[in-house]
Amino acid sequence: MMRTSLRRLAIMLWLAPGLALAANIPSTIRDDARQLRQRALTESNAYAIVESLVLEAGPRLAGSKGDEAAVAWALLKLEELGFENVRAEDVEVPHWERGETRVEITAPFPHRLVATALGGSFGTDADGIEAPVLMVTNIAELEELPRSRVEGTIVFFNDRMEPTRDASSYSRVVRNRAYGPSAAARLGAVAAITRSAGTSSDRIAHTGSLRYADDAPRIPAAAISNPDANLLERQIQMADVVTLSLSMTSRHLEPRRSANVIGELRGTDAADEIVLIGAHLDSWDLGQGAVDDGSGVAIAIEAVRQIREAGLRPRRTIRVVLYANEEFGVSGGKAYAEKYSDQVAQHVIGLEADLGPGKVWRFDVRVAAKALPLVEEMHKLIEPLGIARGNNEAYGGADLVAMRDLGMPVLGPRQDASLYFEVHHTVNDTLDKISREGLDQNVATYAVLTYIAAAIEQDFGRLPPPNSE
């Protein structure tokens, strides 16, 4: 009899964590979440939303006419879909024009290369630049060289990016694009070119922003396609000296006004508490901005629309933010954090969609330890979508960083990036690259997570900035 009792006690203790887990989300909310998950998979309107954005606004470089059109589109779309408190909050954004870029190998074997200016690059003068090429893999390799090797050259950063589901290879190579031009300029280089930070083998160049340092000359910088990078690399391996000519008409103009566009599903008894979900409204100018980040815009809008259409009215307010100018300085995310810095405590948690329409494959978070049991139960409700549990070190997304660093927890659904960098920041970022199945799985994931976060009584805690931990 005693042995049986002890066995029963042991079983109860073993089950206790699970019993505690189940208590975090009331059964009614769990049932609503399951129904919402299915509804979002079968009745999603996400593709129609991204199609509308692409057709009606087109490419949306910060400060451009397309950017203006996108803000107007977003205001009308959120009103049309029944969002509340729809508004535009002004954001100052840079105004830069790409112009024309021409890159040629002039010796030993002349070739015209497919190239594009890096975002924010200054142009050359009318005569352009012609200089020998210095090839390095990355900034670290460059900085080991004496100034005499670098001075007067065009530095070629030649680090190859491999396809990865978690985008980890992009995190490595993008440093060359962002910081390489200034590193080269400090050592006397006259220009910089980078192998495209992308995985496409098509003859297309991937743009993206650079970050000029205050302590270095601002030299022109461009990206060349991966096939052309291969060609240039081979010539450098064959010849003692390879020379390159570079001509760019990029220019900076006076900053302009854009806006974060906001719409809400107002909460009930805890309406002053905010669950933040967003994506960036802007795009680069080369393609249509369908994948980056039209897909994220559609996911964020449709996830909340699905909650509303299901007749669910959670306790907390769900706020959709379509951010201005993520690509070219994260202006919208920074402006939002500045405006609402005195309301950070009211922001219960944030989510962002900005890695294309690839299916969510892992669920990362960044929450206080006390909320981890809740997170585990939330994961159980999205696990049927093929999503594994991740870690408590979520990045959150570029537009959430400023709020995250003020203490706001984040949920970080990880989208599959295996194909994302085939089209990212290129002319091939077009509507036909959108996977409806992937888009709808994202909608279901974000809808469930957003609804639960807004419906439950428990919060996710507060966290110190990552660099203080």
Pairing state between β 221-224 and 154-157: unpaired
**Catalytic annotation, residues:** 326
Element (H, E) at 438: helix 436-455
Domains parsed from the chain with CATH numbers: 23-90+259-468 (3.40.630.10), 100-248 (3.50.30.30)
Spatial distance between the Cα atoms of 394 and 407, rounded to a whole number of angstroms: 13
The 3-state secondary structure of 249-288, one letter per residue? CCEEEEEEEEEEEEEEECCCCEEEEEEEEEEECCCCCCCC
DSSP structural state of residue 240: S
Strand 316-323 with 270-280, pairing: parallel
What are 51-86's pLDDT values in tens digits? Answer: 999 999 999 999 999 999 999 999 999 999 999 999
CB atoms within 10 A of CB 123: 20
Enclosing H/E stretch for 151: none
Q: Do 60 and 283 meet the contact criterion of CB atoms below 8 Å apart?
A: yes
In whole angstroms, what is the distance from residue 142 CA to residue 118 CA?
Answer: 19
| Axis crossing angle, helix 46-57 with helix 65-80, rounded to the nearest 10 | 140
- What are the tens digits of pLDDT across the range 340-368? 999 999 999 999 999 999 999 999 999 99
| pLDDT beneath 70, residues of the chain | 1-23, 465-469
- Answer yes or no: are the C-beta atoms of 129 and 246 closer than 8 Å: yes
Contact at 8 Å (CB) between 294 and 288?
yes
Q: How far is CA 369 from the centre of its chain?
A: 26
- Lay out the sheet containing 115-117: strands in order across: 111-113, 101-107, 243-248, 129-136, 154-157, 191-195, 221-224, 115-117
Q: Is the bond into 108 cis (omega within 30 degrees of 0)?
A: yes
**In which order are the strands placed within the sheet that holds 347-352?**
84-97, 251-265, 316-323, 270-280, 347-352, 410-415, 360-366, 388-389
pTM over the 0.85 mark: yes
pLDDT at 467: 62
- Check residue 14 and give its pLDDT: 35
pLDDT of residue 463: 82
The pLDDT, as a whole number, for residue 296 is: 98
